[in-house]
Structure 1
Amino acid sequence: MADRLNDGRPLVQDKRGFASQQLSSLKHSASGQQLGFLASIASSLGLRAGASCHAPYYLIGNFVFAHFILVQRTFKQYYGIDNNTAPRENVDKYGEAAIKSGKITRAQLDMIKRAGAAHSNRVENYPVFAAAVVLAIVAGVPNDVVNAQCLLYSISSIAYGACYVLIDSTPLSLLRTASWYGGCWACFRLFWVAGKALNK
């Protein structure tokens, strides 16, 4: 009882006596654990002040994604219409014939074409991202700011690739557009904060 009287937490009376206080204590404990978990994730991703620079890893990851993972050839090999002699001509040269022979469907050929377009876009966009990151680092932009924009670009890039390849519906294709703008915003933001840092 003495412990009860010395407890500084507010007393909440209900039909169960002290039960509400115990529940409140559990809630505070769970909330603290959740905040600690989120703080741990933020630290791991380099999103807190004083974080180390994760930009080189994001640059490597996005290069690998654009040039080696999000590639049309993987789909062409899977559906058996790949020819390494002139791989860029495979879809035009063998695509329609593969449909007529029943090897693939029209929807599958369209997906292969979209994969090629997604790959080209990510390869074309990568130099802009790399330039924005390098400029931000040279300008002395805080690491947590650079890391945050690199993370946004990476998530947007993966979402863009997935949406481009898998979505064949016009309304849902807006998700691809949104993810593309997300990546562009990350690059723009890096250029902007770098410019401000250079002109202090």
Structure 2
Amino acid sequence: MSSITDKAANFISRVNPLKDPGFAQDASRALHYNYGPVSILAAFAGSHLLLQHRLPMLFYGLDQNVYPRDDLRVNGEKHVASGKITQAQLRRLKRWEAAHYNAIENLPIFIGSILSLQFAGAPNRLINRVAGVYLSARAAFAALYIFNEDETLAYARTVAWWTGNITCIYGLVKAARFLNHGVAAGSPAL
């Protein structure tokens, strides 16, 4: 048995990227990149693609394109009565739809925050931190919204929602400070 572990250890030591001197330099360089534009794309993809509630409806064979925004409200109980889905699946689909629309509603404030930081010349580290916290909070919010029916965990969803919003407000406040840095008291910022 030790020969297998020896082979595994030898393999790991040969392909270990941490031993490569260029790896540390590349990792350090990656920390200094500006992920603002990519984070906007990630937020858009998350809200419009990953959280698109029509995908699970397609999975259940429920999707129609005549009036899709009203489908769950109008036909949801009919789908349950016909046996296509269960009541629990209908509730999850409705939460998925709500998470999708909530993500779209929150997208403008995030884009505004990132673009404000970009235009204000904020350091990449700050932009990346705002983007990372926001995207993490929104991912937690979506998961807690879609897959949770427990009342106690619903409060965690609210915390995730506020974390995302406060992060955007923080980014806007920091951008305002960068834009107005050095402006004398009482004089216009222009």
Write out per-residue CA displacement over residues 170-191 of structure 1, whole angstroms, 9 at most, x where no aligned residue.
Answer: 1111121111111112101111
Write out per-residue CA displacement over residues 47-79 of structure 1, whole angstroms, 9 at most, x where no aligned residue.
Answer: xxxx22110100101101101110110121112
Unaligned runs of 5+ in 2: 1-18, 182-190
Which of 152, 167, 180 lines up with 1:186 in the alignment?
A: 167
Write out per-residue CA displacement over residues 104-163 of structure 1, whole angstroms, 9 at most, x where no aligned residue.
Answer: 111110110001110111101001000111111111111101111101011111111111
Normalised by the size of structure 2, how large is the TM-score? 0.78
Deviation at 1:92, TM superposition (A): 2.0
What is the identity, as a one-letter code, of the residue corresponding to 1:196? R
Tell me: CA distance 1:177–1:43, structure 2 relative to 1, closer, same or farther (3 Å): farther
* Cα distance in structure 1, aligned partners of 2:160 and 2:180: 31
Tell me: CA distance 1:195–1:133, structure 2 relative to 1, closer, same or farther (3 Å): same
What is the identity, as a one-letter code, of the residue corresponding to 1:157? R
- Provide the residue aligned with 1:116 in structure 2: 97
What is the identity, as a one-letter code, of the residue corresponding to 2:151? T
Tell me: CA distance 1:106–1:181, structure 2 relative to 1, closer, same or farther (3 Å): same
* Cα distance in structure 2, aligned partners of 1:38 and 1:104: 51
What is the identity, as a one-letter code, of the residue corresponding to 1:189? Y
Percent identity over the alignment is: 31
- Provide the residue aligned with 1:67 in structure 2: 48
Which of 138, 151, 154 lines up with 2:135 in the alignment?
A: 154
**Contact in 2 for aligned 1:79/1:103 (Cα 8 Å):** yes
Deviation at 1:39, TM superposition (A): 10
- Provide the residue aligned with 1:136 in structure 2: 117
Q: Partner of 1:53: helix, strand, or coil? A: coil
Report matched runs for 1:163-178 at 5 Å: 163-178=144-159
Which of 74, 87, 96 lines up with 1:106 in the alignment?
A: 87
What is the identity, as a one-letter code, of the residue corresponding to 1:120? Y
* Cα distance in structure 2, aligned partners of 1:159 and 1:115: 13
Q: Which ranges of 4 or more aligned residues in structure 1 deviate by more than 2 Å?
A: 37-44
What is the identity, as a one-letter code, of the residue corresponding to 2:52? V
* Cα distance in structure 1, aligned partners of 2:28 and 2:102: 30
What is the identity, as a one-letter code, of the residue corresponding to 1:96? E
* Cα distance in structure 2, aligned partners of 1:98 and 1:64: 29
Is 2:177 the counterpart of 1:196?
A: yes
Cα RMSD (Å) of the superposition? 2.1
* Cα distance in structure 2, aligned partners of 1:122 and 1:42: 32
Higher relative helix content: 2
Q: Partner of 1:104: helix, strand, or coil? A: coil
